[in-house]
C-alpha cells in the first residue's frame, strides 16, 4: 500500500471494531495515523431489487478516525454519492448501521408475532395493516412473512448483542426479536400441515410446491432465506418437495440439490399444496387460479386476484 493511502471500512460490524482491529493491523506494520495512513468508516446502504434508490442517490453515513481522515473519506465519496452524512466518530457510524438493521428486525418480529395473534382471532392481518396505514402520522407499515433472510438483517443485530455483553448490558429486546423471526419457518410448516390435514393428507408423500426461494422478491439471493429452513423441514417430514423461482435455477438444501421446476398450470395442478414464500413480479400469479392444490400464501401475493375459483385460499394470515 502506498503512503498517504486512505482506508475505508464499509462492512457492517460492532462499534469499536475499526479502531480495535483495523487500525492496529496497520500500525503493527509501521503505519502512523494522520502521517501515512488515514482511516474512515462508511457503512454500506444497498437495497437489492430497489429500482428507486441506488448507491448514488441513497444518503451515506461517513466518519473518520481523525478530522483529516474524515475530510479524505468525504472527498472520495463526493465523487459518486449525492448526499453524505458525516458523523463525529467511527463508533457512531458503526452503531448507526446496526441500529438501522435492528429497527427492521424488531419491527418485523413485532408484525410476525401480531400475525400469529390475528390468526388466533380469525382476523385478516393484511387488512389490519392496510387500515392502520391510512394514519398519516405515528405508523409505519411492516409486513409479516415466512421468516427473515438476507446477509445483513438476520445477522447484524447480534454483533451488537455480543459486544454489549462485554459492557454488562442485556439486549433482551434484540434477542427476543431474533427468536420470534427464527420461529416463523416452523409456523409456516404448521400451516402447510393444517392445509393438508383439511383434505386428510399427512405431510409424508404429499406433493408440495414452493414458489419463490430467494429471501427477497426480484432477487436471486438465498442467503439466510427462510425457504431453506422450510424446505428442509418438509423434506424431513417426508414431503415430495419441488420449487419454482425464476431467479434461482438451482438450490442446495441439506446436501440435496434441487432444480427449479417449470412453472405452469399443469405443474400447479399436480400439487397437494402450493406455498408462496417469495412474491417475485416475474411469476404469473393468475395461474394459481386452479381447482387443485391447497395454497399457503405467506406474502399476500394472491390479494391482487379477485378469487381463486374452487380453491380455499388460506395463508398464515387467514388461519
Lowest mean pLDDT among 39-48, 134-143, 270-279, 304-313: 304-313
114 and 190 inside one domain: no
pLDDT band per the 50, 70, 90 thresholds, residue 303: confident
What pLDDT is attached to residue 155? Answer: 79
Q: Give the pairing type, strands 256-259 and 273-276.
A: unpaired
What is the average per-residue pLDDT within 11-35?
Answer: 93
What pLDDT is attached to residue 316? Answer: 39
pLDDT band per the 50, 70, 90 thresholds, residue 292: low
What pLDDT is attached to residue 315? Answer: 41
Domain that holds residue 196: 184-304
What pLDDT is attached to residue 319? Answer: 32
101 and 38 inside one domain: no
DSSP strand E in 176-308: where? 207-211, 240-244, 250-253, 256-259, 273-276, 294-297
pLDDT tens digits along 168-188: 998 898 889 989 999 999 999
pLDDT tens digits along 205-225: 999 999 999 999 999 999 999
What pLDDT is attached to residue 152? Answer: 73
Kindly state whether residue 311 falls inside one of the protein's structural domains.
no
Kindly state whether residue 52 falls inside one of the protein's structural domains.
yes
CA distance 111 to 129: 9
The residue that leads in pLDDT, 318 or 293, is: 293
299 and 215 inside one domain: yes
156 and 135 inside one domain: yes
pLDDT greater than 60 at residue 314 = no
Last residue of some domain: 114, 143, 173?
A: 173
| Number of domains into which the chain is organized | 3
pLDDT tens digits along 62-71: 999 999 999 9
Cβ-proximal residues to 266 (8 Å cutoff; 6+ apart), any chain: none
**Global pTM value:** 0.85
Q: What is the mean pLDDT of the chain?
A: 90
pLDDT greater than 80 at residue 110 = yes
42 and 99 inside one domain: no
pLDDT tens digits along 230-283: 999 999 999 999 999 999 999 999 899 999 999 999 999 999 999 999 999 999
Last residue of some domain: 88, 119, 147?
A: 88
273 as an active site residue: the answer is no
| Annotated active-site residue in 6, 31, 132, 152 | 152
197 and 256 inside one domain: yes
Kindly state whether residue 316 falls inside one of the protein's structural domains.
no
CA distance 139 to 315: 25
Kindly state whether residue 178 falls inside one of the protein's structural domains.
no
Last residue of some domain: 88, 114, 132?
A: 88
Kindly state whether residue 122 falls inside one of the protein's structural domains.
yes
CA distance 46 to 54: 7
Give which of 160, 158, 159 is closest to 178, Cα–Cα. Answer: 158
189 and 266 inside one domain: yes
What pLDDT is attached to residue 313? Answer: 42
Amino acid at each position: 500500500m502506498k503512503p498517504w493511502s486512505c482506508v475505508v471500512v464499509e462492512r457492517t460490524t460492532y462499534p469499536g471494531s475499526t479502531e480495535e482491529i483495523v487500525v492496529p493491523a496497520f500500525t503493527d506494520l509501521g503505519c502512523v495515523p494522520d502521517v501515512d495512513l488515514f482511516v474512515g468508516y462508511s457503512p454500506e446502504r444497498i437495497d437489492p431489487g430497489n429500482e428507486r434508490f441506488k448507491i448514488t442517490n441513497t444518503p451515506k453515513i461517513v466518519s473518520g478516525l481523525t478530522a483529516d481522515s474524515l475530510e479524505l473519506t468525504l472527498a472520495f465519496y463526493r465523487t459518486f454519492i449525492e448526499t453524505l452524512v458525516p458523523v463525529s466518530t467511527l463508533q457512531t457510524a458503526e452503531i448507526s448501521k446496526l441500529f438501522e438493521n435492528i429497527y427492521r428486525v424488531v419491527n418485523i418480529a413485532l408484525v410476525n408475532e401480531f400475525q400469529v395473534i390475528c390468526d388466533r382471532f380469525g382476523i385478516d392481518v393484511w387488512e389490519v395493516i392496510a387500515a392502520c396505514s391510512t394514519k398519516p402520522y405515528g405508523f409505519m407499515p411492516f409486513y409479516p412473512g415466512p421468516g427473515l433472510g438476507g446477509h445483513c438483517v438476520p445477522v447484524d443485530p447480534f454483533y451488537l448483542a455480543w459486544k454489549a455483553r462485554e459492557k454488562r448490558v442485556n439486549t433482551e429486546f434484540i434477542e427476543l426479536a431474533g427468536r420470534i423471526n427464527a420461529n416463523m419457518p416452523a409456523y409456516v410448516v404448521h400451516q402447510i400441515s393444517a392445509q393438508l390435514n383439511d383434505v386428510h393428507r399427512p405431510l409424508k408423500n404429499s406433493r408440495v410446491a414452493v414458489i419463490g426461494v430467494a429471501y427477497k422478491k426480484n432477487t436471486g439471493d438465498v442467503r439466510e432465506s427462510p425457504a431453506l429452513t422450510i424446505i428442509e423441514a418438509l423434506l424431513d417430514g417426508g414431503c415430495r418437495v419441488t420449487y419454482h423461482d425464476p431467479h434461482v435455477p438451482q438450490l442446495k438444501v441439506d446436501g440435496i440439490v434441487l432444480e427449479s421446476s417449470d412453472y405452469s398450470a399443469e405443474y400447479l395442478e399436480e400439487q397437494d399444496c402450493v406455498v408462496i414464500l417469495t412474491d417475485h413480479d416475474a411469476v404469473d400469479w393468475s395461474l394459481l387460479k386452479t381447482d387443485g392444490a391447497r395454497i399457503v400464501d405467506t406474502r399476500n401475493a394472491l390479494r391482487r386476484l379477485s378469487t381463486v375459483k374452487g380453491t380455499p385460499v388460506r395463508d398464515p394470515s387467514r388461519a
